[in-house]
Chain A
Amino acid sequence: MQLSQRHEEYWRKNLVVTAILLGIWFIATFVVGWNARALNDITFLGFPLGFYMSAQGSLIIYVAIIGVYALYMKKLDKEYDVDEGDMG
């Protein structure tokens, strides 16, 4: 079937949000991991920050990334009329 302009736009927006969240994921994982030694000089909640991020902080960010994605896409589906209706 021929995709409408709205459809193309939906997919573009999906790609944008995916890219942004992936960027955050990359920072929380590899930028934080790369700089763990330096981060450890900062204290956060009684933890050295580098340790805290790898043991807890980045994990919380991961959970948030997925939550934000699910909520955003739900809205986007509705907005562009590609949602699945009420599945109960």
Chain B
Amino acid sequence: MSTFSQKAFNQQLKKTYTWYVGGFLVFLVLLAIAEQMGLPKVWIGYVFLFATVALYAGIGIMSRTAEVSEYYVAGRRVPALFNGMATGADWMSAASFIGMAGTLFLSGYDGLAFVMGWTGGYCLVALFLAPYLRKFGQFTIPDFLGARYGGNIVRTIGIIAAIICSFVYVVAQIYGVGLITSRFTGLEFGIGVFVGLGGILVCSMLGGMKAVTWTQVAQYIILIIAYMTPVVWLGIKHTGIPVPQIAYGVTLQKVGELEKKINADPKELEVRKIYKDKADAANAALKDPAKAYADGKAKLEQNVSSLKAANAPADQVTAAEKALAAYPKDEAAAKGQWTKEKGLTARAAPVRPHADPFPGKDEAARDLARLNFLGIVFCMMFGTAALPHILMRYYTTPSVQEARVSVFWSLFFIFLLYFTAPCLAVLAKYDMFRNLVGSSFASLPGWAAAWAQVDPSLLSISDINKDGIVQWAEVVIGGDLIVLATPEIAGLPYVVSGLVAAGGLAAALSTADGLLLTIANALSHDLYYKMIDPEASTTKRVTISKVLLVVVAICAAWVTSLKPGDILFLVGAAFSLAASAFFPPLVMGVFWKRANKWGAIIGMSAGLAVCLYYMLRTYPFFTNMGVPKMDLWFGLNPISAGVFGLPIGLLTIFVVSLLTPAPDKETQELVEHVRYPNLKAA
């Protein structure tokens, strides 16, 4: 270490990554030229998939290591700027890259809860955690809990909590990897997962944190270029300047005007009325399904026979017979159809103004929407400040001050994407209001025709009122469409679509990397080395960690292949759990010397238990499986369970610590030690 110069290393890094960015841009230009010369689209997809995965694996091979501090904390020499980029990639998952803009597109202002929550949390990281953890300077988060509170019980609860929230989160990432690869290369979902996972494993297995860090920096660069390119282009198209983020206020106003126009348009009203009538009919039918089923069938049968009796033209008769054949086979099928049609009420509603916060039919409904908005913000923020794979990154900087600066860069790089997402949502909406609404079904915009054919769950347009013109009420959009289709909406060549897919893949892979490493380290370092075999040699520790990584990855891939429902809920649950379990003991461990072992044990358990209990008793997935359902507390949705878990955790630690003896002198000195970057004798 004595010959190691941080300065020279920093310079070398800057040089390497400048070359890397240049090389990547050249690669894009070459591909664009190849596309013009006739390279088929599917090949562009393959080139992006394999070139980027090979790149990540290559970085992994170059950074291979078997040294403990290199493997767990990248040798603690990652400069603030680069750690910021790595944290950015670690942080921004498939949900941020692909899902965020879509959520904002669909829910307008209310989607901003995630934008605020996933950025504001870094204030808590900076003020409460990063510098102190860096000073503590061990390898994992359970490490800190174990040292601060003493004994293996706290460490064990830490391990369990770290594994639960990281595992839930990693499943969501691997799902994203499979989705992207299968969509852009035509490979099967399972094979997509396999290829992506291969890249992750080569990288993190060979070089641990060191390889993951340098790969994540590379991934951040790809994902931010991929996210910005189409938005800038679309921005020039609609606002005339290349920084649409500051100018889309005007576009937002125009969207507002178009929303009013759409809400007043008689053709739109006609379509919405058709939905409403259908929904009303379904509601009425569901009141007495047996009778409604028999009546409906009788009516159709009568129609056919009366047409036949009146010698109506053949095509009329066939149409009537078709309608009869399409009628549900039995009452149960009919019930299913009616329940679905009941849901059309939502589509019968007028367009919600994009910039309008907390819409609702009356004051009470609006207040409830506001409460839930703030509940999500709360849980996302405190969850951010408690997710082990993020906190772990601040162990890797050379000093405490670098850790503080590094949080600044982290949020700055994350901010770049998060302040662009709302802009993208508005620009995309404006484009669709202008160019899709009012176009005729015979000549839809190219991208719309293409996507509607590829995947009806992302885009489906049907001529409900049969006037041959697209009304907004006839368009159904899946959120993921926005980011995936923006290059085509903006009229960019296919190579940019490939770039966006590569960006989404980078986002998902980098997050999965960090999470898998967190889980494997919790098991190998905290469980095996600290609790089972403290005598283990360093080689043995690193080897065990590598083996565990593969096992965990395979488990995660297996769970992913079962396709467990709602990704957004999974992610939200991970945040609420992390906030309830980790935030209280970590922060109180630094800021309150009196916090002790029993406080931490009971506080963490109580926080986790309340959070899990609330989710189990209120989330439909569980209540449908037979868990007795209970009413929401204050009307807060299950995703915000951390609102209850976190304060209970804090309070329990406080009360129980005061009821039990103060921690020993050694622990108090540890607290003093982490509070000062360099504690010298006076």
Contacts from A to B (Cβ < 8 Å): 1, 3-4, 6-7, 10-11, 14, 18, 21-22, 25, 28-30, 33-34, 36-37, 40, 44-48, 50-52, 54-56, 58-60, 62-63, 65-67, 69-70, 73-74, 77, 81-85, 87-88
Contacts and interface: CB of A to CB of B under 8 A. Distances in A.
28 contacts: A4-B682, A10-B676, A18-B128, A25-B123, A25-B124, A25-B127, A29-B381, A37-B366, A40-B355, A40-B357, A45-B246, A46-B250, A47-B249, A48-B252, A56-B422, A58-B120, A62-B123, A63-B408, A66-B123, A69-B404, A70-B126, A77-B678, A81-B680, A82-B678, A84-B399, A84-B401, A85-B678, A87-B402
A10 B451 CA distance: 60
A45 B249 contact: yes
B256 to A, nearest CB: 9
B258 to A, nearest CB: 16
Contact of B678 (A22, A37, A83): A83
B678 A66 contact: no
B680 A51 contact: no
A30 B120 CA distance: 11
A87 B120 contact: no
Nearest to A5: B682
The range of chain B's interface size is 35 or more
Nearest to A48: B355
Contacts of A18: 127-128
A86 to B, nearest CB: 10
A42 B393 CA distance: 40
Given A1-B669, A46-B253, A52-B249, A82 B677 contact: yes
B679 A1 contact: yes
Contact of A82 (B5, B357, B679): B679
A87 B398 contact: yes
B158 interface: no
A54 B113 CA distance: 8
Given A3-B672, A51-B109, A59 B418 contact: yes
B677 A37 contact: no
A70 B109 contact: no
Interface of B: 5-7, 10, 109, 112, 115-116, 119-120, 122-124, 126-128, 131, 245-247, 249-250, 252-253, 355-358, 366, 370, 373-374, 377, 381, 398-402, 404-405, 407-408, 411-412, 415, 418-419, 422-423, 669, 672, 675-682
A62 B358 contact: no
B123 A82 contact: no
Contacts of A69: 126-127, 404
B112 A55 contact: yes
Given A34-B370, A37-B358, A88 B6 contact: yes
B408 A84 contact: no
Contacts of B402: 87
